[in-house]
């Protein structure tokens, strides 16, 4: 951390700060220029995290030099995390496909979807049971009943299950039925929930918040891992910008940024990122080429009868076409489906 | 709602949609232009909310005409909501001040703050007990212990209490101690929590999400009111933009927009909006002049020792100066403190 | 400037940089921590502006400590700039009103507007002759003919003239007719134009770019002043964000931020900021209370027949009401109209 | 276009509007619902473009149904535009590489770059002579001298030349030396310049403005084509968002959106989009897979001595690696280099 002093800061004010740093067990290095003095702080800045140095007399501002997250930080953990769930490895040299409807709507719907997706090579079945919806008048999900259908469909076709939890009660309801727990964009900074899923033994699929910076997202992952669950998968799903031609703006650059900053596996959700069915396949190709670890895609047997997000859902036939188009790109990238 | 057909949509596709609308009990009005046909849908669009009309053959897109929220909508409820809590009225002709530290840190700190603020005319004491913090290594709040100090300090000085709840367990813990329940920006779309606070009998102070549109915010309020708690106060606290000179960007235009759209009272939080102590008073003046119903301001007896948000906290003396500066503007606006 | 080295940077790489700094006439102060070394650079960083230090082996990144602008910087020029034009002083203790139609449309329209506005106390008449419009099919302005009408109307009613120039040819056309030259949001980084207006003797009214940071805006002003024209007025007119309820988002916090960073006068344009007539007066009140130096407001005698921006234009009667509402707030702020 | 009336609009107000539409030669179709009436307008809405219908009594708002651009609109021009320049075809089944330094700095630098890039298969050499820089103290380009070096280097190695013009004088200077004229992000809505380049006979490379919507970008292209130059190439180069880990946010979804809306060819500039050398190659792979028509990439023989944008420049050797990585993806996509 660097402390930048105000141009008019005097010797007394500078000594004062150096003193405070020394008392906290830190070293201070002064650089005095023509305009102002800066103080380099050497040591673990958490020792003065609550000291409000920026408010001490003569201080202009603090400049952080190192990141606040440690456990998810590649600098301190160079080995890539590989999440194992059933016989699927996420974060290794495979490209993993998660697919299914936005919401579980009926036993028939989810069985029909699972059958077709398992034939298309999908190993992980998705489906929402607890749906966070902008309007209270929209379909809110089937709850536990939906999870039972989802589990049964997955078991029938030899698949694993992922589903979103929207709070601690939903987590308790969902845990027996799911193999991977999804935290949605709206709950990325629901810290109570992050801590709680950090205490489970199941992999966590952490979607990026709609307006979360990459640093905030990594701090959210740090919350989970700090509770001793290091099975975290990140999922970029589009950020909110001024552009309205798509539902959100897929931040594809987040993938190379995350590769540089963290050892965790990274997925892309092209369906929520764009919100328009016709754009999903081109974005899936881009995702394969940018070298993320997998995709989560919305697939519905009858998008025109879907109770949520129909506009962005592929049919099972579209999904087969998606796989056909990304397969040769994955070959180029040295990844197997 | 308007259904815009594709330029190449044929008679059969149009008839198909008209049919579907009729079956749902809606009327359809066709306007056929040179380039394309549009269909005006007459009736309650919730009847086809889950019909995915946008996916029917020949449909280009849907254009919503009316808002999805009803109970918070001024169109259907012209009378201003006045929230009564103790002997304080929010949303009438008063300008209500909420003040206190970001977090309750100790019995001494909150009593000291309460004493000075009550003298400065503040009737509602704020203080966080459950703190949502970006990093897990930051101070997380004192929990119930903090709420007890907050309640005791408020009672001693004849004040009311507001505090944030970050989840359903926190709500259960907090309910006995608080007069107003605050939902923070990060939980604005925590729908489980919204429903749950909608079932309490206490006023809800609903802060705008960092990247929530005004429409999403009003839908969040609709979730609460739909559970029969119509004592909702909205609070603008800055939105996330590209500008980094301030922590967030105060969307002051949201006040006249909300006046046009809803009957609920509206507050401004200048402290979180800008994140810099020196900018709080000018923004408080602007808030008074734009004619919102009150302010929530962070005040700490020793900002340089605050465990969170010290940089944006006023001292009690600064707060007295804030009141001194806004008072004559409130006089102009015909509002009493 | 601070140079942050990579955790694995070796002695040779550090020496290398220190050497480069010394050769450029700068001093280097090292702070070596457990994780990494940082180098404080003492001296005028422009000496290494083109040295690409961030690409030297072992360098992680550069952290700027001082601003790149000097002439507009309050740190080096503490005295407030007062722009004098005719008998009007901008940036002193007056609150200056600029008003008029978005575009000059006819002789009659601008004379009619000028008459009413001059009676309402407006000293500076605005009106666009060169209109930057999103679509080529929208009205593009009357050009020099419009400027002649504008000048004649202003002269008739004893007013000054401000008008936007969209390029160097427009500047040459406009210069004889205007007292203040406006640079619009879309040209805030048209650096050729900035340099050219910097060579004129007239005050420049520099609107903020739709997505310009405050730092970029101040750098744009620096371009003008560096050409020896220090008569620059800044105008906040709303920034582009995700919110669509208003045309742009008025960044009212920019006023106190600019007060801290620069000595230049600052205006607000509430009309373009919100784009909706009904929101202009509340925002004008907020502008008066936040203590900017004046307003520019769109006024049209018949907004429903305006050729551009009718939706956000006040009638002259509305404008009289605006003045009536801000006057007592300006009294409170110690500003005279 | 749809006119949405206010809930309380009466018969007289509605008749009034219908009348106005009829007089303009348009048809009006009414849909009267329980809450409100909407009026579908049939005919060319440009007939009432300047009528300010939104201000007529009883009108709530207008909802545009068709786009304001025609010439660039795929709906009216289904055939893909192929831009021919020398023996290079842009927009056909080739994938075209443009590469070179951000700025031409010296004869030696550009010849060295051209030699290496031509060997790597690049047919179009880029290099800035007129540089738009945020700070007036940064290197501003060599001007015509730079263009001469650029032309000579390109001719020596059998390449074509592209360079940015920042205004009409720069355009006049540049035209004799360049094969393709680039309009940079900051000038995307410099309408005078757009019209002027529309009157040249050379292909125009139109970069997206930093905060321009796709619709505004297409309207900017419409300005050019309306002046009878239909050789326009669009280039996505990242948009401004809240995320700071990258310089801008590459809006990769813009490619499929543009494919649906326009017949013009589309490029990606991964260098400006991310601003970090290490992220350029992954983004180039994504660009190849999303199926754009080409890339423009910054390449400098010695990025650590570049006078601008060194941090995002590849070395010629990096560029060879970029080509090696995208080549097999282009094979998959059926595109030839």
pLDDT (tens digit per residue) in C105-151? 999 999 999 999 999 999 999 999 998 888 888 888 999 999 999 99
**Given a cut of 90, is residue C29 above it in pLDDT?**
no
The residue assigned the tokens 């005040």 is: B299
Task: Judge: D40–B31 Cβ closer than 8 Å, yes or no.
Answer: yes
Residues A54, A147 within the same domain: no
Contacts of A278 in chain D (CB under 8 A): 256, 260
Contacts of B233 by beta carbon, 8 Å cutoff, 6+ apart: B83, B90, B91, B180, B203, B204, B205, B206, B264, B265, B266, B267, B293
Residues C193, C109 within the same domain: yes
Q: How far is B229 from chain A (nearest CA, A)?
A: 14
Query: Does C85 lie at the interface with B, CB-CB under 8 angstroms?
Result: no
Contacts of C255 in chain B (CB under 8 A): 282
Residues D54, D88 within the same domain: no
A165: left (phi over 0), alpha (psi -120 to 50) or beta: beta
Beta pairing, strands D27-32 & D37-42 = antiparallel
- Eight-state DSSP code of residue D53: G
Q: What is the gyration radius of the CA atoms in chain A, in angstroms?
A: 23
Task: Judge: D191–C68 Cβ closer than 8 Å, yes or no.
Answer: no
In a domain, D77, yes or no: no
C88, C121 in Cβ contact below 8 A? no
Q: Which of B7, B32, B41 sits opposite D75 (nearest CB)?
A: B7
Domain range for residue C16?
2-63
Domain tally for chain C? 2
Q: Give the integer Cα–Cα distance in Å for A202 and A188.
A: 17
Q: Which of D33, D65, D75 sits opposite B38 (nearest CB)?
A: D65
Q: Give the integer Cα–Cα distance in Å for D4 and D35.
A: 11
Q: What is the largest CA-CA distance in chain B?
A: 76
CA-based nearest residue to B312, from B282, B281, B271: B271
Q: Give the integer Cα–Cα distance in Å for A207 and A233.
A: 8
C-alpha B246 chain-centroid distance: 20
Residues B16, B143 within the same domain: no
Beta bridge partners of B236: B268
CA-based nearest residue to B71, from B180, B280, B229: B229
Q: How far is A287 from chain B (nearest CA, A)?
A: 25
* φ, ψ at B3 (rounded to 5°): -105, 115
Residues B144, B292 within the same domain: yes
Q: Which of C32, C42, C242 sits opposite A31 (nearest CB)?
A: C42
Q: Give the integer Cα–Cα distance in Å for C244 and B245.
A: 23
Between vectors from CA B235 to CA B234 and to CA B239, what angle results, nearest 5°?
125
The residue assigned the tokens 């407006």 is: C122
Q: How far is D128 from chain A (nearest CA, A)?
A: 25
Residue D137: what pLDDT? 85
Q: Give the integer Cα–Cα distance in Å for B311 and A53.
A: 9
Q: How far is B140 from chain D (nearest CA, A)?
A: 26
CA-based nearest residue to D303, from D312, D294, D295: D312
Joined together, the tokens standing for residue A6 give 């105000």
**Given a cut of 90, is residue A66 above it in pLDDT?**
no
D143, D130 in Cβ contact below 8 A? yes
Q: How far is B6 from chain D (nearest CA, A)?
A: 10
* φ, ψ at C86 (rounded to 5°): 55, -130
Query: Does D304 lie at the interface with B, CB-CB under 8 angstroms?
Result: no
Q: Give the integer Cα–Cα distance in Å for A167 and A194.
A: 10
| Residues in B 218-257 with any Cβ partner in D closer than 8 A | 240-242, 244
Residues A40, A171 within the same domain: no
In a domain, C42, yes or no: yes
Joined together, the tokens standing for residue C52 give 């690409």
Q: Is C320 helix (H, G, I), strand (E, B) or coil?
A: helix
Q: Is residue B195 packed enough to be buried (19+ CB in 10 Å), middle (13-18) or exposed (0-12)? A: middle
pLDDT (tens digit per residue) in A187-222? 999 999 999 999 999 999 999 999 999 999 999 999
Q: Provide the CB-side half-sphere exposure for D283 (13 A, CA).
A: 35
Q: Give the integer Cα–Cα distance in Å for A225 and A194.
A: 9
Residue A244: what pLDDT? 93
**Given a cut of 80, is residue C185 above it in pLDDT?**
yes
Residues C107, C147 within the same domain: yes
Q: Give the integer Cα–Cα distance in Å for C247 and A183.
A: 34
D9, D59 in Cβ contact below 8 A? yes
In a domain, C68, yes or no: no
CA-based nearest residue to D311, from D284, D282, D271, D283: D271
Residue D256: what pLDDT? 98
Task: Judge: A256–D249 Cβ closer than 8 Å, yes or no.
Answer: no
Task: Judge: B132–A191 Cβ closer than 8 Å, yes or no.
Answer: yes
Q: Give the integer Cα–Cα distance in Å for C279 and C220.
A: 29
Residues A87, A37 within the same domain: no
Q: Which of D251, D274, D282 sits opposite A243 (nearest CB)?
A: D251
Q: How far apart are the first and last CA of chain D?
A: 44
Q: Which of D51, D69, D168 sits opposite C168 (nearest CB)?
A: D168
B231, B206 in Cβ contact below 8 A? no
- How far CA D165 is from CA of C274, D141, D177, D201, D250, in Å, comes to 33, 11, 12, 15, 23
The stretches in chain B having pLDDT less than 70 are 50
Chain C touching partners, 3 or more CB pairs below 8 A? A, B, D
Q: Give the integer Cα–Cα distance in Å for C48 and C28.
A: 13
**Given a cut of 80, is residue A64 above it in pLDDT?**
no
Between vectors from CA D203 to CA D200 and to CA D209, what angle results, nearest 5°?
100
Joined together, the tokens standing for residue C198 give 């910097």
CA-based nearest residue to C326, from C120, C54, C160, C159: C120
In a domain, D73, yes or no: no
In a domain, C77, yes or no: no
pLDDT (tens digit per residue) in C282-336? 999 999 999 999 999 999 998 877 777 778 899 999 999 999 999 999 999 999 9
CA-based nearest residue to C244, from B287, B214, B325: B214
Percentages helix, strand, coil for chain B (3-state, rounded to 5) are 40, 20, 40
CA-based nearest residue to C308, from C113, C120, C130, C118: C130
Q: What is the pLDDT along chain D (337 residues), one digit of tens a residue?
A: 888 888 788 889 999 889 988 888 888 888 777 777 888 887 777 777 767 787 788 888 888 777 889 899 998 888 999 999 999 999 999 999 999 999 999 999 999 999 999 999 999 999 999 988 888 888 889 999 999 999 999 999 999 999 999 999 999 999 999 999 999 999 999 999 999 999 999 999 999 999 999 999 999 999 999 999 999 999 999 999 999 999 999 999 999 999 999 999 999 999 999 999 999 999 999 999 999 999 999 999 988 877 777 788 999 999 999 999 999 999 999 999 9
Task: Judge: B310–A193 Cβ closer than 8 Å, yes or no.
Answer: no
- Eight-state DSSP code of residue D317: H
Q: Give the integer Cα–Cα distance in Å for C10 and C13.
A: 5
CA-based nearest residue to A260, from A215, A296, A206, A204: A215
Q: What is the CATH number of the domain that holds B25?
A: 3.30.70.1140
Task: Judge: C249–B245 Cβ closer than 8 Å, yes or no.
Answer: no
Mutation site for D-interface testing, chosen from C57, C129, C137 by largest number of D Cβ within 10 Å = C137
DSSP string, A202-243: S-EEEEPPTT--HHHHHHHHHHHHHTT---EEEEE--B--S-
Q: Which of D2, D35, D36 sits opposite B2 (nearest CB)?
A: D2
**Given a cut of 90, is residue C52 above it in pLDDT?**
no
Q: How many CB atoms lie within 10 A of CB D296?
A: 24
Helix (H) or strand (E) holding A148: helix A144-156
Residues A11, A95 within the same domain: no
* φ, ψ at B280 (rounded to 5°): -70, -45
**Alpha helix (H) residue ranges in chain B:** 11-23, 107-119, 144-156, 168-174, 191-198, 214-226, 254-261, 270-274, 277-290, 316-333
In a domain, D233, yes or no: yes
B336, B121 in Cβ contact below 8 A? no
* End position of a domain, from candidates B35, B63, B91: B63
pLDDT (tens digit per residue) in A96-140? 999 999 999 999 999 999 999 999 999 999 999 998 888 888 888
Contacts of B241 in chain D (CB under 8 A): 242
Q: Which of C132, C192, C222 sits opposite D191 (nearest CB)?
A: C132
| Residues in A 127-186 with any Cβ partner in B closer than 8 A | 130, 132-140, 166-170, 186
Higher per-residue pLDDT: A220 or C31 = A220
In a domain, D78, yes or no: no
Q: How many CB atoms lie within 10 A of CB C19?
A: 11
Q: What is the CATH number of the domain that holds B119?
A: 3.20.20.70
Contacts of B46 in chain A (CB under 8 A): 137
Mutation site for B-interface testing, chosen from A52, A59, A187 by largest number of B Cβ within 10 Å = A52
* φ, ψ at D214 (rounded to 5°): -60, -35
Contacts of C234 by beta carbon, 8 Å cutoff, 6+ apart: C206, C208, C217, C221, C258, C262, C264, C265, C266, C267
Chain A touching partners, 3 or more CB pairs below 8 A? B, C, D
pLDDT (tens digit per residue) in A254-278? 999 999 999 999 999 999 999 999 9
Residues D139, D186 within the same domain: yes
Residue B52: what pLDDT? 76
A162, A98 in Cβ contact below 8 A? yes
Chain A / chain C CB contacts < 8 angstroms: 62
In a domain, B87, yes or no: yes
Task: Judge: A246–D255 Cβ closer than 8 Å, yes or no.
Answer: no
Q: Give the integer Cα–Cα distance in Å for C53 and C96.
A: 46
Query: Does B85 lie at the interface with C, CB-CB under 8 angstroms?
Result: no
- How far CA B117 is from CA of A77, B111, B163, in Å, comes to 48, 10, 16
| Residues in C 259-278 with any Cβ partner in D closer than 8 A | none
Q: Give the integer Cα–Cα distance in Å for D1 and B244.
A: 39
Beta pairing, strands A37-42 & A2-5 = antiparallel
A57: left (phi over 0), alpha (psi -120 to 50) or beta: beta
Helix (H) or strand (E) holding C163: strand C160-165
Mutation site for C-interface testing, chosen from A40, A239, A260 by largest number of C Cβ within 10 Å = A40
Residues D146, D50 within the same domain: no
Beta bridge partners of A266: A234
CA-based nearest residue to C83, from C180, C187, C194, C219: C180
C-alpha C276 chain-centroid distance: 21
Searching chain C, which residue's CA lies closest to the CA of residue B240?
Answer: C241
Q: Is B101 helix (H, G, I), strand (E, B) or coil?
A: coil
* End position of a domain, from candidates C12, C32, C63: C63
Residues A212, A278 within the same domain: yes
Q: Is D237 helix (H, G, I), strand (E, B) or coil?
A: coil
């Amino acid at each position: 951390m660097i402390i930048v002093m105000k141009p008019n800061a005097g010797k007394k004010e500078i000594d004062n700060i150096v003193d405070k740093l020394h008392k906290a067990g830190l070293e201070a290095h002064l650089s005095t220029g023509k305009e102002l003095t800066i103080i380099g702080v050497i040591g673990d800045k958490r020792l003065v995290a609550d000291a409000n140095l920026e408010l001490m007399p003569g201080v202009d501002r603090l400049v952080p030099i190192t990141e606040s997250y440690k456990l998810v930080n590649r600098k301190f953990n160079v080995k890539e995390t590989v999440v194992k769930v059933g016989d699927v490895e996420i974060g290794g040299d495979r490209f993993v496909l998660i697919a299914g409807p936005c919401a579980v709507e009926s036993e028939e719907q989810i069985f029909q979807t699972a059958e077709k997706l398992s034939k298309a090579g999908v190993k992980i079945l998705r489906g929402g049971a607890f749906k966070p919806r902008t309007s209270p008048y929209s379909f809110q999900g089937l709850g536990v009943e939906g999870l039972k259908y989802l589990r049964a469909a997955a078991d029938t076709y030899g698949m694993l299950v992922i589903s979103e939890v929207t709070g601690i009660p939903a987590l308790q309801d969902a845990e027996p039925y799911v193999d991977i727990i999804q935290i949605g964009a709206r709950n990325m900074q629901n810290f109570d929930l992050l801590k709680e899923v950090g205490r489970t033994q199941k992999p966590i699929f952490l979607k990026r918040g709609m307006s979360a910076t990459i640093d905030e997202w990594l701090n959210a992952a740090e919350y989970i891992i700090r509770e001793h669950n290091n099975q975290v998968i990140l999922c970029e799903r589009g950020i909110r910008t001024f552009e309205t031609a798509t539902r959100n703006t897929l931040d594809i650059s987040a993938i190379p940024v995350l590769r540089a900053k963290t050892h965790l596996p990274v997925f892309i959700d092209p369906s929520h990122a764009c919100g328009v069915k016709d754009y999903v396949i081109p974005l899936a190709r881009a995702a394969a080429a940018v070298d993320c670890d997998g995709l989560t895609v919305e697939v519905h047997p009858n998008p025109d009868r879907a109770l949520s997000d129909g506009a962005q859902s592929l049919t099972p036939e579209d999904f087969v076409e998606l796989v056909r188009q990304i397969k040769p790109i994955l070959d180029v990238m040295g990844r197997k489906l």
